[in-house]
Copies of this chain bind each other. A is one copy, B any other.
Amino acid sequence: MKSFKEMSKEELLEQKAQLEKRVEEFKAMNLSLNMTRGKPAPNQLSMSDDMYTDLSKEGFKAEDGSDTRNYGVATGLPEVKKLFAEVIGARNADNIFIGNGSSLNLMFDTIMRAMVFGEHDSPKPWSQVEGRKWLCPVPGYDRHFKVTETCGFELIPVPLKEDGPDMDIVEKLVKDPTVLGMWNVPCYTNPDGYVYSEEVCKRLASMKTAAPDFRLFWDNAYCVHHLYSEESKQGRIPDILGLCEDAGNPSRVYEFASSSKVTFASAGISCLAANEENYKYAVKIIGVQTIGSNKVNQLAHVRFIPNLDALKAHMAKHAEILRPKFELTLDILEKELTGTDAASWHKPLGGYFISVYTLPGTAKAVIAKCNELGVAFTPAGATYPYGNDPDDSNIRVAPSFPSLEDINKAVEVFAVCVKLSAVEKLLSV
């Protein structure tokens, strides 16, 4: 198709008329579709339904003989730590704390500890650092941004490229001693699905930061969430804990992962992995905070998924369900939008999102049009700090939850709204 940008006014008006006709057709359908959230679909969840069924029959003893039903073993079952260490590729399982379902909770609590007590290498608690700042690769995960915004950090956007954050910019920004940390979703960034390159990871591990207590928050949320079984089509990132250690910055990173999109979104287990100093410092305070996380759930998980091979087999089943949804979404985008210059997108190999860049200045209009037609998308701007996408361009599409039939209709509506908004924009200038 010819680029909208190259069309004459007459051609654009012709396009507009055609697109408005399609909008009228959609309107008549009284649609009610939802593409807002990266939720697993019911048939993905059902794969784990029997995780608890045989617990009682098989008994509640962990590998070390401890009774998972009772108090004790506060930092998590050793076999669960071992599994998470394998998942994230950590050199050992010694410095891993096992949390409850929400890894976000571990991240929030980690920031809160630093706010009140500082890190082990902090000149002072973070709550006392005037003008504290946090680096936010954009587009990114709104709930990450909200954590540091709530804790009074100024959120500094950093452009994200296909191989990770723009490191020239990052290396400059961390020369400011009030820059205390940085969010990262290194494998299948949310929402673009980019994968940090080894070089980017190495630069993050070795860069010189003015703040001695600068921390990377490494949310390894999707490290086993591949859409394709061929290894060549799978994102792979290095072990950041090892890289930081090798670079002489062993305390630079807190790494997080969870089973939220492996078993149950609401009832998983999570981990906080660190170097020895960060771990000891964190666990000393966590030991005051809690008697420990749900160990029966840990046991159920590690019985259901006892090792990395079992995990890979389980994730392949997720991929069987997710891949057609991603491919259908991408097919429709391609069919409707290729050549129009009305939008661009990256084809992700994993994760939960497809990130679409509409013609600058049109994302809000696109979402509004979709909503009017009964199709809900994440609000425009949600993927930027303070909900403010300066280009008004990025839209996060979440194809995991709806059925193929719903996706078919919803993404068509979306693409038409993208085009119509682009045409209207071009006609208005």
Contacts and interface: CB of A to CB of B under 8 A. Distances in A.
A78 interface: no
A56 interface: yes
Nearest to A152: B116
Task: Name the 6 nearest CB pairs between A and B, nearest first.
Answer: A52-B52, A267-B296, A105-B290, A108-B289, A45-B69, A49-B56
Contacts of A69: 45, 48-49, 264-267
Contacts of A68: 266-267
16 contacts: A37-B71, A45-B60, A45-B67, A45-B69, A52-B296, A70-B265, A100-B294, A101-B293, A104-B290, A104-B291, A108-B288, A112-B112, A127-B127, A147-B289, A266-B296, A267-B294
Contacts of A288: 108, 143, 146-147, 150
Nearest to A99: B100
A52 B49 contact: no
Interface string A60-73: 10000001111110
A42 interface: yes
- Report how many copies the assembly holds: 2
Given A72-B266, A101-B291, 13 more contacts: A71-B266, A100-B100, A101-B292, A102-B290, A102-B291, A104-B290, A109-B109, A116-B127, A127-B127, A264-B296, A265-B291, A266-B292, A267-B297
A130 interface: no
Given A289-B109, A293-B100, A56 B50 contact: yes
Interface string A353-383: 0000000000000000000000000000000
Contacts of A291: 101-102, 104-105, 143, 260, 265-266
Nearest to A146: B288
A290 B108 contact: yes
A271 to B, nearest CB: 15
A97 to B, nearest CB: 13
A210 interface: no
A313 interface: no
Contacts of A266: 68-72, 291-292, 294-296
A151 interface: yes
A155 to B, nearest CB: 14
B289 A267 contact: no
A127 B105 CA distance: 21
A267 B45 CA distance: 21
A126 to B, nearest CB: 9
B50 A53 contact: no
Contacts of A72: 266
Given A150-B285, A265-B69, A112 B102 contact: no
A39 interface: yes
A125 interface: yes
B70 A39 contact: yes
Contacts of A290: 102, 104-105, 108
Contacts of A143: 288, 291
